[in-house]
Amino acid sequence: MRATVSTSSTAPSVLLCFHGRGREAAVAACLVAATFLALAAFLDPRAQASSWFFSSSSSSSSFSSLQSSGGGGGSEHLLLTSTSYSGGGDGGRRRNSTGKEVHEEVQVGDDDILLSLPKSSSSGHGAPPLSVSPPAAVLAPAAAPATVCSQATPRHPAQGSSDEAIQATPQVRRRRDVKLERLELGLAKARAAIMDAVRNKDNRPPLADKDYVPMGPIYRNSYAFHRSYLEMEKLFKVYVYEEGEPPVFHDGPCRSIYSTEGRFIYSMEMESRLRTRDPDLAHVFFLPFSVVKMVKMIYEPGSHDMGPLKRTVSDYINVLSNKYPYWNRSLGADHFMLSCHDWGPYVSSANGHLFGNSIRVLCNANTSEGFNPSKDVSLPEINLRSDVVDHQVGGPSASHRPILAFFAGGNHGPVRPSLLAHWKGNVDNPDVQVSEYLPRGVSYMDMMRRSRFCLCPGGYEVASPRLAEAIYLECVPVVVDDGEYALPFADVLNWDAFAVRLRVADIPRLREVLAAVSPRQYIRMQRRVRMVRRHFMVHGGAPRRYDAFHMILHSVWLRRLNVRIAAQQG
């Protein structure tokens, strides 16, 4: 079924929960029943980035004023609102295979509070209108050089459990239901432990950890994050579907600006602790396709026809949902996909449930294009030139950074034209270095190391590899957008503490705004940039704790905690 994502017009009756997004910049108003003790304390109506989940109420950043003029980041959501799914049959309230309207049974805490909440995303999918052509050969990749990770990606023979799925006897189903209930019980305990940590954040000594103890203002709530992270390590299990052949499946680019896509797929395949081979023990199911590889193998350059890409994804989901019971029982809510390609969001619209229910881990995390921060995950874009980032890391202190602000990059997308028009070749302000191309012999990384602030406007999409690069090189990042970019790991990280957010309309004031940051403030921010770097690191070999891979998984973990899958009964 190639359902398009629909718009629901029905007003929610009990809960009002809509995101400030798009031009209207509607107020992010999430009124949840008072079951959530203390929750009110986390919602600061004045903070545009309405803090939820791990927010620490005390963190009023000195830089929040920089984003005071509108709905910047107003898309956050109450992550701990849990949603109950029981797909298949009439169990749930979600009967929208036709994509009319999704009413959900949402559970808050342990008390049943039913509310109906239109879930489907409203707007378009962020891709230009495209023609749809008759089906082409879908899974017929031409022989092309498979890149980087291919050889290293292990292949696993499909497992016997799939046959079991096809002819599930009542006993098998019951066993499965018992396992599911046990999984949900485990999640409920983890949820309770984390909520407890959220409430007690200031009263307890830090948790023990041999590697690292999260602390300080870079976190919304470091204690709760730590608790949640440890719970994840203890409990979380991901199942990676075996179906599909490389390079479109089980493979991806491990270098280039899309590297996070390939690196994640690769690391997930290699992962031993957080991965399970038994789907009945899994909390989430990973759909291991690579949009970047699809674009390379399936898309016909210049055709502007993404039909074959979308068909690949919808066929894949049809195969899985026919073979296994897992997709149907949650309508995709405990499944996740991941893509760093600009077209990731568009390709995800191949299946209405994938778009509307599943966890979509995307670099192109544009809330004006259906990215929903309460269920989707913002994936950092990292331009890997080699297998690791280690050699790109580090930089001098502020006093050795003569340039105030730096940007070099192509003039495309919605933000850069304004930036270049105002600041390119601005001889009156030589400490603002903005250009399309660097002169021959000038190193991009050196420029970042010599700059106090690095400007990170999106290009064709909201994400930019500059964000991670700035963090690696200890240059304080400046996100330039109109609040539609959902920043990576924002449910854990307090971006205000180590980054500046500048609205597009404020580009002419850029110098004034940045020059107003006092040296002391700057030193503090730079120190925090150094601290937060750990979470953006990509290491050679196996991923390490608290690195980018684990932060991505942690984001998925948090979203799975919000969902409760009900057993099917019979």
Which C-beta is closer to ligand NAG: that of 314 or that of 366? 366
Residue 207 burial class via C-beta count within 10 angstroms: exposed 0-12, middle 13-18, buried 19 and up = middle
CB of 328 or CB of 429, closer to ligand NAG: 328
- Interhelix angle 222-235/548-561, nearest 10 degrees: 90
Whichever of 1 and 132 has its CB closer to ligand NAG, that residue is: 1
CB of 163 to ligand NAG, least distance (A): 12
Residue at token pair 């920089």: 66
- Nearer to ligand NAG by C-beta: 244 or 246? 244
d(CA 10, CA 116): 9
Least separation in angstroms between CB 322 and ligand NAG: 5
Read off the amino acid at residue 539. H
CB 324, CB 165: distance < 8 Å: yes
What is the smallest separation between the CB atom of 326 and ligand NAG, expressed in angstroms? 9
* DSSP track, 103-135: --EEEBTTB--------S--S--SS--------
Q: Closest approach of Cβ 86 to ligand NAG, in Å?
A: 14
Rounded distance between C-alpha atoms, residue 64 and residue 326, angstroms: 43
Task: State the nearest-atom distance from the C-beta of 492 to ligand NAG, in Å.
Answer: 23
Q: Which is nearer to ligand NAG, 65 or 322 (CB)?
A: 322
482 or 491: CB nearest ligand NAG:
482
DSSP state of 485: B
CB of 366 to ligand NAG, least distance (A): 4
Q: Which is nearer to ligand NAG, 341 or 450 (CB)?
A: 341
**Cβ contacts of 432-438, under 8 Å, gap ≥ 24:** 432/403, 432/404, 432/405, 432/510, 432/511, 433/403, 433/405, 433/406, 433/407, 433/408, 434/405, 434/406, 434/407, 434/408, 435/407, 435/408, 436/408, 436/409, 436/410, 436/411, 437/408, 438/408
Shortest approach of ligand NAG to residue 79 CB, angstroms?
22
CB of 324 to ligand NAG, least distance (A): 6
DSSP, collapsed to helix, strand or coil, labels residue 289 as strand
Nearest-approach distance from CB 328 to ligand NAG, in angstroms = 4
Binding site for ligand NAG (CB under 6 A): 126, 321-322, 325, 328, 366, 368-369, 413-415, 458, 461-462, 481, 484
Would you put residue 556 in left (φ > 0), alpha (ψ -120 to 50) or beta? alpha
Residue with Cβ nearer ligand NAG (193 or 319): 319
Token reading at 205: 């000594």
Ramachandran category for residue 550: left, alpha or beta (phi over 0 → left; psi -120 to 50 → alpha): alpha
Distance CA 84, CA 62 (A): 39
CB of 490 to ligand NAG, least distance (A): 16
Per DSSP, the three-state class of 66 is helix
Select 153 or 366, whichever has its Cβ closest to ligand NAG. 366
Cα gap 474→530, rounded to integer Å:
6
Nearer to ligand NAG, 166 or 442 (CB): 166
Q: Which is nearer to ligand NAG, 136 or 421 (CB)?
A: 421
CA distance 561 to 188: 8
What is the dihedral angle through the alpha carbons of 58, 75, 528, 479, rounded to the nearest 10 degrees?
Answer: -140
CB of 120 to ligand NAG, least distance (A): 17
